A and B are shown apart, each in its own frame.
Chain A
């Protein structure tokens, strides 16, 4: 069983809709949580990170972590066609721990 599980999609939404992405993880020692975005034929780039539980907002993006249920979420409000990409969640225990990635969810925002 993978340490981080993520539905691969694809997830297709109309422009302007809210995109809801999530991951589950098994190791309760994970403390740092990240979301990376990967456009086609490009490497991933860091979108957001959070430490421990709670919410973090950055423009149209909101990241949530619920450590009690081992659940990570990313919400994209007012989605745009330029948000079409694969979104990967990632987590680690501490600064010395290896980063564990989910498989990535492909998102398609249709005009």
Chain B
């Protein structure tokens, strides 16, 4: 399958700080990437669709000013969690489409103290 990487794989930060997560497609170009969040024992919840060269589209209930998405190239999308709080602690996963199927990055585990 296609290879998608994420960095960092885990991060611990203080409340009020911002955290940037990178998602890269390593062996293909991706005009569209997706950002998900997964809380323990729950399913993946789509947060937003990242579109290369244009604004991201956010799902209902997801604050676009808090979760900043930038998709500046065909292989890189970034998610910045601004002014993180403990309730933002979660597993953040990106995916990309080399074709019709989504392949996921390894995820970033965020813990906000």
- A-B complex is real: no
Q: Which residues of A contact B (CB under 8 A)?
A: none
